[in-house]
Amino acid sequence: MSMDLSNVSEKLMEGKVDELKQLTEQALQSEVNPADILNQGLLPGMDAVGQKWKDGDMFMPEVLRCAKAMSGAMDILRPHLSEGDMGNAGTMVIGTVAGDLHDIGKDLAAMMFEGAGYKVINIGIDQPNENFVKAVKEHKPNVLGMSALLTTTMPRMGEVINSLKEAGIRDQVAVIIGGAPVTEEFAEEIGADLYAPNAGGAVDITREFFEKKSA
């Protein structure tokens, strides 16, 4: 059944967590195609949030509320989606490095990648270097994301990259790093493939990276 899903986008943009959950459930009960709920309702809403944020028309607390609404709706929708519905952009492993407990930015980045059709494995905060390597071996992602918010934990990112080299798997994965103190120069210095100053832009530069690679 088809249905106007702009109200799904609207509730997401207003950050109405419970109302969006109800709406998602109602749509499923009315036999709206789950992939349509995602592609015509949630994703355009999240895109618009990302754009407003970039333009300075929305602030962090509102963005977080929208992200929470998206996440709640996805919990309801996920069991109804087939692998194909989720998009096949690839797989991402993402985590915050050892000694670092900050996860808000990492989770936003994870959500943006999920929204762009990635299967995202979020390994959490304070992850020892070897856990990143283990996760890359296990899940064979095409993207590895690392987050650090402290100048004292940033060096862990370079160490993980070195461990990937030692394990002979560095070339199998594109490494993208982020977090407030991280810079483009730092990314270059430690041999990361990509750096993004914000979560919205991260998806775009990753897409460009793979397009260039396959050209």
108 lines the binding site for ligand B12 (CB under 6 A)? yes
β pairing state of 174-178 and 118-127: unpaired
Instruction: Tell me the sheet residues that pair with 124.
Output: 95
**Which residue lies nearer to ligand B12 by CB, 76 or 108?**
108
26 lines the binding site for ligand B12 (CB under 6 A)? no
Q: What angle do CA 102, 120, 133 make, to 5 degrees?
A: 75
156 lines the binding site for ligand B12 (CB under 6 A)? no
Number of residues that bind ligand B12 (CB under 6 A): 29
Q: Determine which helix (DSSP H) or strand (DSSP E) holds 68, and give its type and residue range.
A: helix 60-77
Q: From the CB of 69, what's the least distance to ligand B12, in Å?
A: 16
Task: Evaluate whether 92 touches 185 at the Cβ level (below 8 Å).
Answer: no
Name the segment binding ligand B12 (CB under 6 A); options: 11-19, 23-31, 142-150, 165-173: 142-150
Q: Which one of 25, 104, 165, 204 is in contact with ligand B12 (CB under 6 A)?
A: 104
Residue ranges in contact with ligand B12 by CB under 6 A: 60, 94, 99-106, 108-109, 145-147, 149-152, 176-181, 196, 198-199, 202
